[in-house]
Amino acid sequence: MMSFTKLPPSFWGYMLETVAKLLNKAPSKSVPQTPYRYGMASLRPTSTWRVWGSPVFVKRLVGDKLDSRSSLCRFIGYPKETAGYYFYDLTEQKIFVSRNAVFLKKGFPSDSRRDEVLIEESSE
């Protein structure tokens, strides 16, 4: 997971917490119900589950009138104490919690083909 996201190794803790949380909420063959279901009466729907490290546009509430209203971030987990998601802002290098986000279906814009070096043959 870490190798595909290009995030620094300091995010291992967030990744492990997210994996443990999702494994506790996912059904398996050996257990008829999820481990989380035994302790809690209700479950969050699986529609709130997201791919770890995926690119996200997060709405920012601060800024001037002409500033962009969202910033490009990465999803890094679920907070325990509040509803929402943990995000890592690549430009400010800060971690924050927000609920106002649009998850991108395709890859990160910096992962586009412009990063590849193409070699063309010339016939002279």
Per-residue model confidence as pLDDT tens digits over 77-104: 888 888 889 999 988 889 999 988 888 8
Task: Give the phi and the psi of residue 81 in degrees, each rounded to 5.
Answer: -90, -20
pLDDT band at 122 (very low <50, low <70, confident <90, very high): low
What is the model's pTM? Answer: 0.66
Q: Which amino acid is at 74?
A: R
Q: Which two tokens stand for residue 74?
A: 């990465």
User: How far is residue 22's CA from residue 74's CA, in Å, rounded to a whole number?
Assistant: 18
